[in-house]
């Protein structure tokens, strides 16, 4: 009965996450483009030619997963439209993205079910299950993982699966379950390097499971590292040719002090680290509270109860703390999705031992911030979706007479152009065939990207519309003061503007 209830709770969680996506509809699906376009464009590229060029996270399992989720649409096009799937995707790109967003929400519900079952297996308490659910709801990236096309949704699933297997390991401590944990951790590492806690814990558990001497343990350590490496290579095989670029980018991130390679050239800077943690705590105050409560509670339980299986959970807790501290170098909440999921899992060990009155109080306390987080997520998505819908409507009602340029924007047209950039030429043929009057303007405003390879000076190409952010308008105007252009701020959009020019009287 309780497992059925957990299943129903997971369905409810899916509905909560997916509701704003359903409400916004396909017309405003591009309310987010980064990293959405990066991932899904490479999924389409993988379907078309088994090619993936996106490698910075590396994110390959998530990209392959999105490609798999598109299988029903591929079957539909083959049976009913008789159109190449890549062409159909180009012409129905809004629906493609909308379909994947909803699929992400459903996938999050499946992951939630696995996670809550793992909680129930170790606590046998539905109250603890409900508290754990609310603890996830107070963490803002939880909704991000269910609505944004990114690696975080895949990471949450992998982490939940790892924790479920870990509950079996707690009972058996068998070599087989430690082997499975290693394999799952390798998949997680291939998805995103922020999954390091799973890697560290899996290796230690794999080495520590057999009761043997130090020399044998060194052999097991080598086997664990080789196994994770083999799984990583298997899962990232489509990007094997770009391993050097991936390594270069990761090294660059590791040796700079701020997000995306910003700040100074150093592995660690106390001041930057302090401000990063302060930003994380101020943004995720309730999640920080849950984290402190989890670690403190587990320490108390470990000292006073001395459960035989606690050595395994101590290893998991230690690995999670190390991973949390490493990822805290950057103030991005979603970098902590793996560590926070494990933290909530660990918290259940001590929550189940609290008096009933304390559990009820904790349940009531978490309801308010969880509800507030749901509301804020709805507001954020709805506002962004409305702005996108306004922009899309304006574009539809004001087609270019000659050609339209894009610098940046949350819209279908820009997503089509950006797909070509991030997926190494995806949609090049389709852009030339269906949208020959759509071009991308380089961010320096000097050149127009014609076909992903060739460039031309901005006013050597015939165009009459340029979409860009309002903040960039003055830069463009000051760069070309001699040109006669018209500037219009687009009301109701996300600070978007339109520049119109009559420098060319013929179509390109």
Q: Rounded distance, CA 387 to CA 396, Å?
A: 14
pLDDT for 507 equals 46
Strand 438-441 to 404-406 pairing: parallel
Tokens at residue 477, please? 């105007």
Instruction: State pLDDT tens for residues 336-348.
Output: 999 999 999 999 9
Q: Give 309's pLDDT tier (boundaries 50, 70, 90).
A: low
Is the pLDDT score of 307 beyond 60?
no
Which pLDDT score is estimated for 305? 64
Burial 87-126 (b: 16+ CB within 10 A, else e): bbbbebbbebbbbbbbbbbbbbbebbbbbbbbbbbbbebb
260 pLDDT more than 80:
no
Q: pLDDT tens digits for 26-74?
A: 889 999 999 999 999 999 999 999 999 998 889 999 999 999 999 999 9
Mean pLDDT of the chain: 91
* Whether the predicted pLDDT of 308 surpasses 50: no
If 0-12 CB within 10 Å is exposed, 13-18 middle and 19+ buried, where does residue 156 land?
buried
pLDDT at 165: 97
Q: Which residue has the higher pLDDT, 407 or 452?
A: 407
On whether the CB atoms of residues 187 and 202 are closer than 8 A, the answer is no
Instruction: Kindly tell me if the per-residue pLDDT of 194 is higher than 60.
Output: yes
Where in the chain are the domains? 2-116+128-376, 398-501
Q: How far apart are CA 397 and CA 321, in angstroms?
A: 53
Q: What is the pLDDT of residue 505?
A: 66
Q: Tell me how far apart the alpha carbons of residues 249 and 265 are, in angstroms, rounded to a whole number.
A: 14
**pLDDT for res 233:** 97
Query: What are the residues facing 499 on neighbouring strands?
Result: 466, 487
Give the closest residue to 253 by CA, choosing from 262, 243, 240.
Answer: 262
Q: What are the tens digits of pLDDT across the range 110-127? A: 999 999 999 999 999 999
Please list, in sequence order, all residues whose beta carbon lies within 8 angstroms of the beta carbon of residue 400, skipping any fewer than 6 positions away: 437, 463, 464, 465
pLDDT value at residue 508: 43
Q: In this model, does residue 506 exceed pLDDT 50?
A: no
Q: Are 224 and 182 in contact (CB under 8 A)?
A: yes
| Tens-place pLDDT, residues 196-237 | 999 999 999 999 876 778 788 899 999 999 999 999 999 999
Three-class secondary structure of residue 485 per DSSP: strand
Instruction: Show the tokens assigned to 314.
Output: 């101590």
Percent of residues in the chain assigned helix, strand, coil, to nearest 5: 70, 5, 20
227, 356, 442 from 155: Cα distances, Å: 20, 33, 33
pLDDT in tens, 447-479: 999 988 889 999 999 999 999 999 999 999 999
Kindly list the strands in the beta sheet with 496-501, ordered across the sheet, starting from the edge strand earlier in the chain.
455-457, 447-449, 438-441, 404-406, 465-469, 496-501, 485-489
In which band, very low, low, confident or very high, does the pLDDT at 89 lie, cut at 50, 70 and 90?
A: very high
């Amino acid at each position: 009965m309780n497992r059925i209830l957990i299943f129903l709770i997971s369905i409810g969680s899916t509905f909560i996450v997916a509701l704003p996506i359903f409400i916004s509809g396909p017309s405003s699906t591009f309310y987010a483009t980064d990293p959405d376009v990066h991932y899904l464009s490479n999924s389409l590229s993988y379907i078309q030619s088994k090619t993936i060029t996106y490698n910075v996270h590396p994110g390959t399992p998530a990209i392959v997963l999105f490609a798999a989720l598109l299988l029903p649409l591929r079957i539909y096009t083959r049976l009913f439209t008789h159109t190449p799937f890549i062409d159909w995707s180009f012409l129905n790109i809004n629906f493609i993205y909308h379909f994947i967003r909803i699929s992400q929400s459903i996938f999050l519900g499946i992951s939630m079910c696995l996670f809550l079952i793992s909680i129930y297996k170790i606590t046998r308490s539905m109250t603890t299950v409900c508290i754990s659910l609310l603890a996830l709801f107070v963490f803002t990236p939880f909704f991000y993982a269910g609505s944004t096309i990114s690696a975080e949704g895949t990471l949450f699933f992998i982490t939940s699966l790892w924790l479920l297997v870990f509950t079996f390991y707690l009972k058996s401590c068998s070599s087989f379950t430690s082997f499975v944990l290693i394999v799952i951790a390798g998949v997680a590492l291939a998805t995103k390097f922020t999954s390091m806690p799973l890697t560290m814990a899996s290796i230690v558990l794999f080495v520590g499971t057999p009761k043997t001497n130090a020399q044998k343990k060194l052999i097991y350590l080598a086997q664990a590292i080789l196994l994770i490496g083999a799984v990583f290579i298997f899962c990232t095989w489509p990007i094997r040719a770009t391993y050097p670029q991936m390594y270069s980018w990761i090294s660059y991130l590791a040796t700079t002090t701020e997000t995306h390679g910003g700040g100074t050239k150093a592995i660690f800077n106390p001041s930057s680290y302090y401000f990063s943690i302060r930003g994380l705590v101020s943004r995720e105050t309730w999640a920080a509270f849950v984290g402190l409560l989890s670690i403190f509670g587990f320490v108390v339980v470990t000292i006073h109860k001395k459960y035989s299986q606690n050595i395994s959970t101590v290893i998991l807790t230690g690995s999670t703390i190390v991973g949390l501290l490493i990822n805290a170098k950057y103030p991005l909440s979603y970098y902590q999705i793996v560590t926070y999921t494990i933290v909530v899992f660990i918290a259940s060990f001590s929550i189940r031992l609290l008096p009933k009155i304390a559990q009820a109080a904790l349940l009531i306390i978490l309801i308010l911030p969880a509800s507030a987080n749901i509301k804020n997520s709805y507001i954020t998505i709805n506002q962004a979706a409305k702005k996108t819908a306004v922009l899309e409507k304006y574009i539809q009602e004001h087609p270019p007479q000659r050609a339209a340029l894009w610098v940046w924007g949350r819209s279908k047209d820009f997503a089509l152009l950006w797909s070509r950039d991030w997926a190494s030429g995806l949609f090049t043929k389709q852009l030339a065939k269906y949208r020959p009057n759509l071009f991308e303007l380089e961010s320096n405003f000097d050149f127009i990207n014609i076909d992903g390879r060739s460039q031309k000076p901005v006013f050597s190409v015939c165009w009459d519309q340029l979409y860009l952010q309002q903040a960039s308008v003055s830069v463009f105007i000051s760069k070309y003061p001699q040109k006669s252009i018209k500037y219009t701020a687009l009301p109701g959009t996300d600070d978007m503007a339109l520049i119109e020019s009559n420098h060319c009287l013929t179509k390109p």
